[in-house]
Amino acid sequence: MRIVACLMLLLALGVPAETFAQTPSTNPAAVLTPGTRVRVISTVVPRRVPGLLSEVTESMVTIIPDGSMPIRIPTGSITSIEVSLGRRRNVLQGVAIGVATGIALGFAFPVDADTCGPDSANFCSRGEAIGGSIMVFGGLGTAIGAIVTSERWAPMSLGVRTTTAAGRPAAMMVLSVRF
């Protein structure tokens, strides 16, 4: 009985993915909602247009760029649309840049074991120079990375993609059964 159940499961999963494929939606109103922050690239406008999506119809998309007048873009001219995932801070990048700068500059500071001390500009050892500069520049990089934010974007398609360019299924499931 277990063998029959496994064979039926294998037969059900063995059906090609194209059998369950959906037809692509050419209506952007079905995919996009007004109020979403998007970045549109089209053949009509020579640059990327980031802004809030104001209106979506079957033939036109209206975007309000930051601090500008609304732009109407025909849907047929749109080559790609990206949706904003929000802003993020760059703390880890700041730490990495600060630590790398600290290591590099740690080798440039003067080291003299004879004249080092609290009143001297010299470090007592190279390790002290590198450690001190890593702390200073790593902290500075962390602060700058926490202040500087960048926006994350995700590409969005207007249709449902079920196959790759070669005609193979875009996703595949594999089932392994051991007896």
Query: Are residues 28 and 78 located together in one domain of the fold?
Result: yes
Query: Are residues 3 and 49 located together in one domain of the fold?
Result: no
Query: Are residues 28 and 79 located together in one domain of the fold?
Result: yes
| Residues ≥6 apart with Cβ < 8 Å to 106 | 126, 129, 130, 131, 132, 133, 134
The reply to whether 129 falls in a domain is yes
What is the mean pLDDT of each successive set of 10 residues along the chain, which is 179 residues long?
Answer: 56 49 52 84 87 88 89 87 90 95 93 84 89 94 94 75 46 44
Last residue of a domain, one of 58, 85, 112: 85
37-42: strand order across its sheet? 71-74, 60-65, 49-56, 37-42, 78-89, 149-156
pTM: 0.56
How many domains does the chain contain in total?
3
* pLDDT value, residue 104: 95
Domain that holds residue 167: 1-21+162-179
- Taking each helix axis as running N to C, give the angle between helix 91-106 and helix 126-147, from 0 to 180 degrees, rounded to the nearest 10: 150
Query: Are residues 56 and 106 located together in one domain of the fold?
Result: no
The reply to whether 17 falls in a domain is yes
* pLDDT value, residue 98: 96
Residue with tokens 């104001």: 54
Q: Residue 160 has which token pair?
A: 């449902």
The reply to whether 73 falls in a domain is yes
The reply to whether 114 falls in a domain is yes
